[in-house]
Amino acid sequence: MHKLIHVAEKPNLRAIPLKFEVGDNVDVHTRILDGDKDKERIQIFSGVVIALRGRGVGEMFTVRRIVNGEGVERTFPTNSPKIADVIVKRHGIVRRAKLYFLRDRIGKATRLVERRVKVVAAPAAAAAAAPAS
């Protein structure tokens, strides 16, 4: 990326980048205006991340879910202030950058195999959990 573009975009980027990948089951917490213009609430959109595209300020991700037997996709700008948080519920094993093939699948065929993330405990926490003998 050109240095001037990087300098111009830096103030609009998230201070703490969101950490998720294609194939992850996520909850996207979106700020929406409810009723009156002065009331704001958080709405959650749950689904599978099927695509990531762009970079910098123009980076976006697409989340797909099934509602009443109908597929619903929504594309979110990663650096938007309207995105309050993205919580990863499950990690999926995928071998592609775009999961558009999920659009043609129905029912259990849309499930992805879960990628287990190994959590390494700190030595101090492991010592505290062990009974003293």
Q: Which long-range contacts (CB under 8 A, 24 or more apart) does 107-112 make?
A: 110/48, 110/66, 112/23, 112/48
Q: Would residue 27 count as lying in a domain?
A: yes
From the first residue on, what is the mean pLDDT of each consecutive set of 10 residues in the chain (133 residues)? 86 88 94 83 94 91 92 94 93 92 86 80 66 59
Q: Which domain holds residue 8?
A: 3-106
Split into its structural domains, the chain has a count of: 1
Q: Would residue 41 count as lying in a domain?
A: yes
Q: What distances in angstroms separate CA 108 from CA 53, 63, 111, one per listed residue?
A: 27, 18, 6
Q: Would residue 119 count as lying in a domain?
A: no
What are the beta bridge partners of residue 116? none
Q: Would residue 116 count as lying in a domain?
A: no
Q: Would residue 23 count as lying in a domain?
A: yes
Q: Would residue 114 count as lying in a domain?
A: no
Q: Would residue 42 count as lying in a domain?
A: yes
Q: Would residue 73 count as lying in a domain?
A: yes
